[in-house]
Each structure stands twice: as C-alpha cells, then as structure tokens.
Structure 1
Amino acid sequence: MATKKAADSTLYHLTSKGFWKKFRDAVVVNPEISTGLPLATEHRYPPPASRPEKYSTPATKASDPAQNPYWKRDVRRVYPQLSVVSQSELSSLLIEHSRAKAVSAPAEGAEKADVPAETKEVDLAAAIATITKENKVYTEARLPPAIPIPHAKWHPAVAENAPHTPYSYWPMTLYR
C-alpha cells in the first residue's frame, strides 16, 4: 500500500512554465516545494473579477451633494452657539411664569386665547421685586441653593480619648 507522504506542489498552487520552469529547476534547492501562489479557481468561488456587474454605492441622503453641504458635515467647526436674552425679555419671562396657571373651560364659538397678552417692558430689578413680594421664594424650609464645595473644610474637634494606661507618658489624643 503506497501512501503519499507529501502534498503535490502543483495540485493547488501555480507552477512555472517554459523558460522559468527550467530556470527554477536549476536554481531552487528543493524542486518539490510549491510557489505559494494559490489557484484562484480552486480556492475562491466565484473567482475574483469573474462577476460581470459592477458595485455601485446605494444612494442615500448623504450622497446627495445638494442636501449634504460641507458645513453640516464639518465637525471641526461645530462651535457652541451663543444664546442672548436681554434683561427686558428675562423680566417679562419671569413675570409671565410666576403667575398661577388659570385654566378655564372651553366655550363654544369663542376665540382661542393661546397667545399671552403683551406685557410692557419692566426693569429686571423691579420684576424680581414684584415676584418676591407676591410669593415668598425662600423660606426656612426652602433655602436658596448653596455654592457647591468639592471638599468640606475640616475643623478638628477633640474626640474621647483612646484607651490607655492611667500613668502613660504620652497618651494618644483623638480628633474627629
């Protein structure tokens, strides 16, 4: 029973032909070794470049240059947008939102009054004074927000003494 000990080098790999086969046989140390180049028809099905159709990128909203300008895609220049509120706008907003919301039953045929009535311009200090006069903003139970402090300052206070012998030379003193 004859068995092959080594794989055939020409079975799954390209081989040299003509002049290059003779050159390879003369120069190579081991002529039985393969070239290492696989046959595309054996290892890849379908072989590369055998399909007649060409790939086309599917059309998306991003591929339409009219709907995808560069300034929308450029993330390097996404600067924070400033929002400006004048003191008169702020005072009117404060006064408008401090009032109690009164909801009335809808009447048939009546005009809708969804738009708030025009308010005259009030100074910000006067608006804050009128709001705080009408309803107490801060009470004993509801204090204003405190400034956040990352680490509370440590104030040493003497704690009760650690156990020690009555006549010790340096008794330990504890602080909390």
Structure 2
Amino acid sequence: MATKKAADSTLYHLTSRGFWGKFREVVAVNPEISTGLPLASQHRYPPPASRPEKYSTPATKASDPAQNPYWKRDVRRAYPQLSVVTQSELSGLILEHSGAPRYVSVVAAPAESSEKAGVPATKQVDLSEAIATVTKTDKIYTESRLPPALPTPFSKWNPELSPPPPHAPHSFFPMSLYR
C-alpha cells in the first residue's frame, strides 16, 4: 500500500479549467504546482458574503434627523463664544481673591423694602475702588511675584557657545557650535 507523501495541489486551491487549464498545461514549467488561490469554502468558514442577513448601522441619536439638526453638526460655524465680565463682577473677584483686609464691605445690609429678608443684597463696588483697596495694603507685583506673561508657543533662543568639535590641533577650523 503506497502512501501519498505530496499534497494534492487541487485539494485546497483553485485550478484552471477550460481553455486556461489547457494553456497552463502547455506553458507552465510545472503544471502540477498549485495556483496559490485558496478555496474560500475550505479556508474561511463561513465564507465571505454567505451570510443571509445584511449589516445595518445601529440607530443612535445622531441618526435621527429630528434630533440632529444641521446647525449642531456644522463645525464651520462653531465660532468661539465670547465671555463677558462686568466691572462690578471683576471688582468683586479682585476683592475676593486678593487677600486684602475686608474693611470694604462687599455685602450690604438687606433693604427694608425687600421681600426676601434672609438674602442680603450685594453692594456694587466700583472697580477703581477695588483696585485702590488691594494696592493700598501691599504691592501686587514684586520681583519674586511677577505679572503673568503671555503664553508663547516657543521660547526665545539665547545662543551659547558650546565646546568646539574634535579636530586636529593647529589646523584652521572656522566652525563654531552654538547651543
């Protein structure tokens, strides 16, 4: 009983048939060799495109046209929104975060005619008064506490001369390296 030692080239690969099969037998150096094209039914289970159901995109909030108007999706018109701080709000923030003594009253006594007696009305402090109050006690900026600087994407380059590269002594070498 003889055992088959070589793999059958037609077992797992496509074979040429008809005219191209005859052409391959005549022209090919070794017509017994495999074509190299695998049978989809043997190598991939289930084979591609054999499933009866079709893929459907899952429904999301973005796929509902009623809940996804164009103006929400239009990123060309997504302009930055302005932020407005009034002078009275700014003066209140300056006094609150300055650490200055609280002899300038920010909260006034409640008005007699107000209906909400439990909630005190805030006193409007002028911005110039708030700045004068903060700067009266101590300097805002000192050498150790500098004002904020504008952020820059790159720092200014300060050239520093680095040690020269290796070269022969007593030779003319005009190159200087900087850091």
Into which bin does the TM-score normalised by the smaller protein fall? 0.5 to 0.7
Q: Tell me which of 130, 137, 140 is aligned to 1:139.
A: 137
Larger Rg: 1
Cα distance in 2, alignment partners of residues 115 and 63 from structure 1:
50
Cα distance in 1, alignment partners of residues 27 and 117 from structure 2:
99
Asked if the contact 1:14–1:37 (Cα under 8 Å) also holds between the matched residues in 2, the reply is yes
Tell me what 1:67 maps to.
67
Cα distance in 1, alignment partners of residues 120 and 61 from structure 2:
38
Q: Structure 2 stretches of 5 or more lacking a match?
A: 96-104, 157-179
1:24-173 alignment runs, 5 A limit = 24-84=24-84, 90-94=86-90, 98=95, 99-100=105-106, 111=116, 116=121, 127-132=126-131, 135-137=133-135, 139-140=137-138, 143-144=140-141, 146=147, 148=149
Report deviation, 1:36: 1.5
Report deviation, 1:138: 5.0
Cα distance in 2, alignment partners of residues 96 and 11 from structure 1:
86
Report deviation, 1:95: 5.5
Cα distance in 2, alignment partners of residues 128 and 12 from structure 1:
86
Asked if the contact 1:94–1:127 (Cα under 8 Å) also holds between the matched residues in 2, the reply is no
Tell me what 1:122 maps to.
none
Structure 1, residues 125-170: CA drift from partner, whole Å, max 9, x if none? x92233356x444533x5245353978xxxxxxxxxxxxxxxxxxx
Report deviation, 1:15: 1.0
Q: How many residues align?
A: 134
Structure 1, residues 32-73: CA drift from partner, whole Å, max 9, x if none? 121121111110001112111111010001112232233333
Cα distance in 1, alignment partners of residues 4 and 41 from structure 2:
24
TM-score norm. by structure 2 comes to 0.55
Indicate how the Cα distance of structure 1 residues 5 and 46 shifts in structure 2: closer, same or farther if over 3 A, else same.
Answer: same
- Which letter maps to 1:128? L
Identity over aligned pairs, percent: 61
Indicate how the Cα distance of structure 1 residues 42 and 83 shifts in structure 2: closer, same or farther if over 3 A, else same.
Answer: same
Q: Structure 1 stretches of 5 or more lacking a match?
A: 105-109, 120-125, 152-176
- Which letter maps to 2:126? A
- Which letter maps to 1:38? P
RMSD: 3.9
Report deviation, 1:9: 1.1
Asked if the contact 2:87–2:127 (Cα under 8 Å) also holds between the matched residues in 1, the reply is yes
Report deviation, 1:101: 5.2
